[in-house]
Amino acid sequence: MRAVALHRDVLLVTSAILQVNCVIVRGSAGEPHAEGEPGAGGEELTEGGEAFVVDSPVLPDELDALPALVEQARFPAPSGLLVTHADWDHLLGRLAFPGVALGCAESTAERLRGSPGEAQRQLRAFDEGLLIDRPRPLALGSVQALPVPGHCAVGERELELYAASGHTPDGMAILIPWAGVLVAGDYLSTAELPTLDDGGDLDAYLATLERLRPLVAAADHVVPGHGPPLDGEHALTALEQDVAYLQALRDMGAEAEPPDGRRGAHQRSLHAQNLAALEAQN
């Protein structure tokens, strides 16, 4: 697991598996650290405020380490969890912070209600495949549905919530406006192709990318669901590549080519899955 500070109020934690990103955001700052006491990544952090955890790392030891990491960074203990969408690998925050309120887009809450236990079954299958032993099962408990588009208060600040469907039928992107950080969910990754999973839709995916375009252009950091964070310029490049790929996929089918840098064996497998998903829809 790797942890860096994107801003004095924003920590980025990246899992050692699947490159899943988790963002810890504090909504209001207190007194600065004493001089010479940097937070993760070497940036001066401050104390106080309220904190939320967005999405989650994957491995048990990473989840166990999250509370200590938050404390070491002098962030308050998280009072809320947010998830960008209902894929199992983004839902594991409750294993690190049991009992903390879980919030998501109304579309994600509907997906979770419509497929009860699906995330837990997928997590068990993943763990069995890699011989991972977890000390306790995943329990999502009650879920708070948030109106999207909308806002979500964290301390004295507000997060901005934007609809983000297409990869799946549900989801939201989260803008941390005072920090210039956009948490994009499973979009804008340079580590994987755009994929149409669990009822994802190509036209909805393209609409999400256009919705995110002005946010990306103004962002200092864009955090995809998987893969390295990007500055605004590189995220715009990834966005254009993804738009071109999806349009080619729609217009050319099997003749479409993945973007440069995303043509390895795994990406070809994802490309084949996208073709199968489109064929099933048509």
d(C-alpha 123, C-alpha 117), whole Å: 10
Q: What is the DSSP string of 109-163?
A: HHHHHHSTTHHHHHHHHHHHHHT---SS------EEEE-SSEEEEETTEEEEEEE
For residue range 133-191, what is the model confidence (pLDDT) as tens digits?
999 999 998 899 999 999 999 998 999 999 999 999 999 999 999 999 999 999 999 99
Q: What pLDDT is stored for residue 45 in this prediction?
A: 46
**Which strands, in side-by-side order, build the sheet including 221-224?**
150-154, 157-163, 172-176, 181-185, 221-224
Q: What pLDDT is stored for residue 230 in this prediction?
A: 97
Q: Work out whether strand 157-163 and strand 150-154 pair parallel, antiparallel, or are unpaired.
A: antiparallel
Residue 8 has a CB neighbour count (10 Å cut-off) of: 18
Q: What pLDDT is stored for residue 49 in this prediction?
A: 80
For residue range 71-80, what is the model confidence (pLDDT) as tens digits?
999 999 999 9
Model confidence band, residue 224 (pLDDT cutoffs 50, 70, 90): very high
Residue from 249, 274, 246 nearest 238 by CA: 246
Average predicted confidence (pLDDT) for the chain: 91
**Between vectors from CA 132 to CA 126 and to CA 135, what angle results, nearest 5°?**
115
d(C-alpha 205, C-alpha 212), whole Å: 11
Q: Work out whether strand 221-224 and strand 181-185 pair parallel, antiparallel, or are unpaired.
A: parallel
As given in the structure block, the two tokens for residue 262 are 């995303």
Q: Examine the pLDDT at 39 and tell me if it is beyond 50.
A: no
Q: Examine the pLDDT at 31 and tell me if it is beyond 50.
A: no
Q: Once rounded to an integer, what is the mean pLDDT over residues 24-52?
A: 60
User: Each residue of 85-122: b (16+ CB within 10 Å) or e?
Assistant: bbbbbbbbbbbbbeebebbbbbbbbebbeeeeeebeeb
As given in the structure block, the two tokens for residue 19 are 């490159």
Structural domain that includes position 109? 2-281
Number of domains in the chain: 1
Model confidence band, residue 281 (pLDDT cutoffs 50, 70, 90): confident
Q: Examine the pLDDT at 48 and tell me if it is beyond 80.
A: no
pTM: 0.91
CATH classification at residue 265 = 3.60.15.10
Residue from 131, 146, 64, 149 nearest 101 by CA: 146
